[in-house]
Amino acid sequence: MDVFDEFKCNCCVCPMQCVLEQLVGVGDVNIITPTANNSVIINQVKDFIAFTSNGNIPICQITATQFSQNLVPDGIKLKPIKKSKGECACCENPITNLANSMIGEMVEIEFISPFPFPFVDKIIDVGKGIVVGRFFNDIDIFSSCAITRIIQQTQQQINDPPLFSNFQQLKKGTPPPAN
């Protein structure tokens, strides 16, 4: 994980690049952009582009990524949270700090994506520009700047979770069942 320069790229692009660098060579990774969900193998991450088995994706367009926890058993290392300036102070800092205060909680996370439904996750880690959630054995990593809403789940929703994980539903091409 290289040191990143916020003057070169914003507070969410560099942290996502650090995440993707750790997923190089890992099979069956979903990369989510505002318009598509791509199941890929990441071959290389360089100059803010993810070179994948299904085309090359600019990292500034990646809003989330998903993979099975079994593929990365040691987890993903995140950059520590630090105070940002400019647009990052207005967008990234507040949602990152909110998510950090909710570590361990079950939530619904809405984010910029082609899906009309939120993802259900337990927030397990938060770093600079990144929120990590887990649902069963699936890891969902969100760019803080792409999160549009975090909804705390009620006890009833926690007791009655969807039958399938977010990742399984995306593979099938159907949204998770409504709670």
Sign of the alpha-carbon torsion through 67, 172, 55, 64 = negative
Q: Could you tell me which of 57, 42, 50, 19 has the C-alpha nearest to residue 139?
A: 19
- 33 phi/psi in degrees, rounded to 5: -120, 175
Its pTM stands at: 0.84
**pLDDT digits over 99-153, tens only?**
999 999 999 999 999 998 999 999 999 999 999 999 999 999 999 999 999 999 8
